[in-house]
Amino acid sequence: MKRFRIALYTALLLAAPVSMAQTKRGDVAADIPFPFVVAGQTLPAGHYIVSPVSNSYLRIQGSAHQGRFAPTNITQRSASDTRCKLVFHRYGDSYFLSEVWVTGNARGRQLLRSRAERELTAKAAAEENTVVAAR
């Protein structure tokens, strides 16, 4: 767990700043600078809105395609980190959306790992985390 937090904070410091804003309560809008995988499908870099649909699903909507639904679990974070952010797991050149955090909320959403990500996890020695965060 400590190694994960160190990697997460290191990635946060190294991540390129991007535009991110909330559209309505619970929604997160972000410009994602790389293609990424969600719910088993690769989505292109671009502007996305991530919205909660229920306690178990998120909708990831891009301007160029219909929304994708992704199953999630609720996760908890420390009260000291209250920024709005999207967390991605990176394996080589592949990015997988992993977590969604909304400003002012200590609970976030953790996406379930797809079959492809589980296979990469088994092959890779270590994953890297990339955070897309507000300035």
Range of the domain at 92: 2-133
Tens digits of residue pLDDT in 73-118: 999 877 656 678 899 999 888 999 999 988 878 888 999 998 888 8
Report the predicted TM-score, pTM, of the whole model to 2 decimal places. 0.74
Total structural domains in the chain?
Answer: 1
**Three-state helix/strand/coil letters over 12-40:** HHHCCCCCEECCCCCCEEEEECCCEEECC
Q: Counting beta carbons within 10 angstroms of the beta carbon of residue 60, is it exposed (0 to 12), middle (13 to 18) or buried (19 or more)? A: buried
Above pLDDT 70, what percent of the chain? 74
| Confidence at 127, pLDDT banded by 50, 70, 90 | low
Least confident among 63-72, 85-94, 123-132: 123-132
